[in-house]
Amino acid sequence: MPFFQQASSAAGKVDAVFIVICVLCVAFLVFITSTIVFFAIKYNKKRHPKGEDIEENVWLEITWTVIPLILFMGMFFYGWTNFDYMRSVPRDAMVITAIARQWAWSFAYPNGKRTTELIVALDKPVKIELRSLDVLHGFYVPAFRIKEDIVPGKNNYTWFTPTRLGSFDIECTVLCGVGHAEMLSEVVVVPLSEFESWYFGDEESLPSSKAVTSAQTSAEPQNPAVAILEKGSCLTCHSLDGKVMVGPTFKGMCGRKRTIVVNGKEQEARCDETYLSRAIQSPMADTVKGYPPTMPSNPLGAEELKQVVSFLMSLK
């Protein structure tokens, strides 16, 4: 049952609070509704044609005030202590920064590693610093029962201790634009030894992960420019195969005419190094006609930029 899977130390606590509150609410719903129905029948107009005044009853009033008060304070206390647990990060937690942008996730590790899926060690606490490069996003890992908004300009955080091996979905929970539904990633929980050999090794992704598997199965070794495009999440919006996504496809981009909008005026773009470098580094300076002006700027090194530009110009 993946829906009910509890894969972090907080999951059981969140579920317990949810179940207690839910059971109490259902019990009161049944109790109050059946009392209303019972009284409506017992005291209806046929049986009691003449209305009477009912004098106050102090003890009844005290009872129906104090019992719900105790129950609600109990709910509050139970919820508060578990919420407090979820905001108290253990001192030895590894700090990883989750960077959200339209419409992709990337994760930055203390040693400078960058990934598109969150790789963590089993039973080791992790603090996630949440950062947005553009608009509101939401960091949600259903199996961990953690969900936190990522607000641009604000430093929010969450934390978890994974208690199960495997891959768990990361979803964005704030409607952040046309690509919102595709803003997905995964937490990959591996044994500590595997995590350490990955963390201190040269590989970008885990030896067992999908990214490497697909590269190994394809006949050609992966192009370094494609690796840069993947790392920068460029391929979430631009396809390599002609498919129209959020942005124009990279396929044959220098072979076709493109109209760009500069300062509100349309003009033809020459597909040369200058144009491509500018389009990558300051994408808002001019935009391709018919596409939304949503691309974030990309801090590429000079060498990376050169590789990407010559790759894009060579794509037929």
Contact call for residue 235 and ligand CUA (CB under 6 A): no
Which residues from 180-199 bind ligand CUA, rule CB under 6 A?
Answer: 180, 183
List 10, 14, 130, 172, residue binding ligand CUA (CB under 6 A) = 172
Residues 6 or more apart from 187 whose CB is under 8 A from it?
A: 117, 118, 119, 120, 141, 144, 162, 167, 168, 170
Binding segment toward ligand CUA, per CB under 6 A, in 50-58, 175-183, 207-215, 225-233? 175-183
Contact call for residue 147 and ligand CUA (CB under 6 A): no
Binding segment toward ligand CUA, per CB under 6 A, in 176-184, 197-205, 254-262, 288-296? 176-184
User: How far is the CA of 272 from the CAs of 201, 287, 310, 314, in angstroms?
Assistant: 38, 15, 9, 11
94 or 174, CB closer to ligand CUA? 174
Angle between helices 224-231 and 302-314 (to 10 degrees): 110
Q: How far is the CB of 180 from ligand CUA (least distance, A)?
A: 4
184 or 215, CB closer to ligand CUA? 184
DSSP 180: G
Nearest to 136 by CA among 149, 147, 125, 145: 149
Contact call for residue 164 and ligand CUA (CB under 6 A): no
List 20, 75, 174, 240, residue binding ligand CUA (CB under 6 A) = 174
Helix (H) or strand (E) holding 153: none
Query: Residue 77 class from Cβ within 10 Å (0-12 exposed, 13-18 middle, 19+ buried)?
Result: exposed
Which residues from 73-132 bind ligand CUA, rule CB under 6 A?
Answer: 100, 103
Q: How far is the CB of 189 from ligand CUA (least distance, A)?
A: 23
20 or 174, CB closer to ligand CUA? 174
Per CB under 6 A, residues contacting ligand CUA are: 100, 103, 137, 172, 174-176, 180, 183
